[in-house]
Chains A and B, each alone.
Chain A
Amino acid sequence: MSDDKPRDSAVGIGLIYPELLGTYGDRGNAVVLVQRARWRGIPAELVEIAAGDPIPDSLDVYIFGGGEDDPQHMAAEGMRASKANIERAHRGGAVVLAICAGFQLIGHRYVAADESVLEGIGLVDLETRAGSPRLIGEVVVQPTENDVWGELGTPRALTGFENHGGRTTLGPDVTPLGNVLAGGGNGDGSGVEGVLEERIIGTYLHGPVLPRNVELADRILAWVTGGLPSLDATLEQSLRAERLDAGMSKGARKWWRDRMLARG
């Protein structure tokens, strides 16, 4: 796992608790990482960690997906029990990709509408409170320019589909994944979406996010494997362009409506 030693085993793409955190096609994120590694001749395997099992510290990527209420509580329990392993793996070079419920759980806590508190693992300084209305629809995000992206640089605008009631607030020293160009994002009034740290991405974007944004997928892979040969992405880029259009036309309508309302 450490950076100074050549890789002697397949890249382990961990899909954590798919029965609990798999409501929105989250398996797709793991499949895309495995396939994009293999197509480049890099051995990779999808490792499913079943609910109830401890999360090992030996994986290269940890994918936490979205889930309903009861399953999210079960998942949180397992993640807290394996918190030390996840932190150790991350310090040793592993990547964390956390979507929706998973995004909330890598923060300190989720405070429900009845003020009950679900403790997360506090890997990142963020907190989520239940809010209303639910944010549902296409999202477009302009990623934050940042050195953590590595040699591939900042990816172009990301698209996704969000569906969450949570309002997530980032700590003062935490960088968002990007600025919201269309849609709700973190929904706390800050106009940002997700979180971006060294080898950590948290986001509300479903779609799933990696098939719709292969530039993001490749940055995650590069964090694990180093330099990557290029790969034909004509099909994926045409999907991205189509969703960008769909998301931005929605964003433009909202911009126009807000302007009209502001004028009175």
Chain B
Amino acid sequence: MSASMRTKLGVAAGRSAGWLSRTITRGQGATISGRVINAIAPDALQELAEGQRVTLVSATNGKTTTTRFLATALAAGGRTVTTNSTGANLASGIAPTLAKAKGPGEAVLEVDERVLPRMVDPLGVELLVLGNLSRDQLDRYGEVHALSETWRETTEAHPELAVIANASDPHVVWAATPAKVTWVALGLGWRSDAATCPQCGALLQWSVDRFDCPSCGFGQPDAPNILDGTDLVLDGTRIALSIALPGSWNRANAALAVAAAAHLGVDPSVAAESLDAVTSVAGRYMSVPLGDGRNARVLLAKNPAGWTEVLQFLHHRDTAVVIAVNARVADGKDPSWLWDVPYELLRGKKTAATGERRLDVAVRLRYADVDYEIEPDPIMAARALPGDEVHIVASYTQFSALYRKHGHGR
């Protein structure tokens, strides 16, 4: 059998195995499909990546959107781009994405943060884009520190690898430092998972705009590139980020993408201008008709860091809010994190608790002094709330269900 026949077979078998795993055992299908591809065609990824300049994008939050932004920016710069635009970010999703490449060009690939270390060598990666690391699915994956450590092992093994990295996240700084890094200071957001120094374990000191370890000298690196409000200051040049997507977290995603596009040789102002055309990314920010003349806007929030960003955005808007939470494997089976999120920011708004763990949500809202309804279905819940504007904020599997049902062609 020829190498490429073997690769095609491997990719197809891997996808089937992943599908079977998800359907029958309700696993995520990641490990098994990767193993099957590996067993049938050990060189599949290597072969598929041939002719592509590969950039990997990873983070706990924002990797799908950053990937879309970067792919859009590179296309605006006249490049041929292959990208996994739906968030299929494991080996089983990346292999078929590469198989669809029409010719040599740029491959911009979102990769799951746990899978990243295993992708760098087989794909011959030329650029890493690293956003942020925070707690996510605690019952499955454990520690943020451990994840940062696996990234660092990768950069230590590849000191010449180019990396665009967020200078404002201690775990990312720790992970990226051994490589050739271009830092982008995105501003300090969620800091609750980085109380202690990744290098020595002492308490980190946080000020308004930087973090430092008083014990070992680890700290925020000086960044030539800074996100300043709605502008990116790139090597001293100020570029406006006029994006259609809402929220400060998306400006951070855009800043990383523009810095990465500039590194890959695209004029940064051309890159920045192109991002305005991105209005919905794999269902994030999609609009769903409620059947009463109104539309609800759907946001994905998977973890405390993501929720906190979303709530700060909603806090300033006159909107009703549906909170849709499941606690399946892909969401993390322990919804304790609801109590790490400042739902108090929703005081004075009309809200509804929905999803399989709506009672946990309702109890959380009660203790935050927020008015709530309880309704099993997210669309019914949105319909029941008054006002011109309704946002549905959904955990992963709630979001996926909404996207499957309402996401096509939007």
Contact = CB atoms under 8 A, between A and B. Distances in A.
Interface of A: 19-20, 22-28, 31-32, 35, 51-52, 68-71, 73-74, 136-137, 161, 163, 206-208, 211-212, 235-236, 238-239, 242
A74 B334 contact: no
B340 A22 contact: yes
Contacts of A71: 195-196
B139 interface: yes
A31 B339 CA distance: 9
Interface string B364-380: 10111100000000000
Given A239-B359, A239-B363, A161 B339 contact: no
Nearest to B201: A70
B140 to A, nearest CB: 8
B336 A207 contact: yes
Contacts of B362: 235, 239
Contacts of A163: 138-139, 334
Given A19-B192, A25-B337, 13 more contacts: A20-B196, A22-B192, A24-B336, A24-B337, A28-B338, A52-B203, A70-B145, A70-B196, A70-B201, A74-B196, A161-B334, A163-B138, A208-B339
A213 to B, nearest CB: 11
Contact of A239 (B201, B339, B360): B360
A52 B204 CA distance: 11
A31 B340 contact: no
Nearest to A242: B359
A193 to B, nearest CB: 17
Contact of A31 (B196, B333, B334, B367): B367
Contact of B336 (A28, A69, A73): A28
B135 interface: yes
Interface of B: 135, 138-139, 142-145, 192, 195-196, 201-203, 333-334, 336-340, 359-360, 362-364, 366-369
B201 A27 contact: no
Contacts of B336: 24-25, 28, 161, 206-208
Contacts of B196: 20, 70-71, 74
B203 A68 contact: no
Nearest to A165: B142
A137 B333 contact: yes
A208 B363 CA distance: 11
B143 A69 contact: yes
A220 to B, nearest CB: 15
A89 to B, nearest CB: 24
Contacts of A25: 336-340
A32 B367 CA distance: 7
A211 B364 contact: yes
Contact of B195 (A24, A51, A136): A51
Contacts of A239: 359-360, 362-363
B367 A35 contact: yes
B193 to A, nearest CB: 8
A238 B359 contact: yes
Given A24-B138, A161-B336, A74 B367 contact: no
Contacts of B144: 68
Nearest to A241: B359
Nearest to B336: A25
Contacts of A24: 138, 334, 336-337
B367 to A, nearest CB: 5
11 contacts: A31-B367, A35-B369, A51-B195, A68-B144, A69-B143, A71-B195, A74-B202, A136-B139, A161-B139, A206-B336, A235-B363
Nearest to B334: A161
A212 B336 CA distance: 10
Contacts of A27: 339-340
B339 A211 contact: yes
A167 to B, nearest CB: 18
A236 B363 contact: yes
B361 to A, nearest CB: 10
A35 B135 CA distance: 27
A242 B364 CA distance: 15
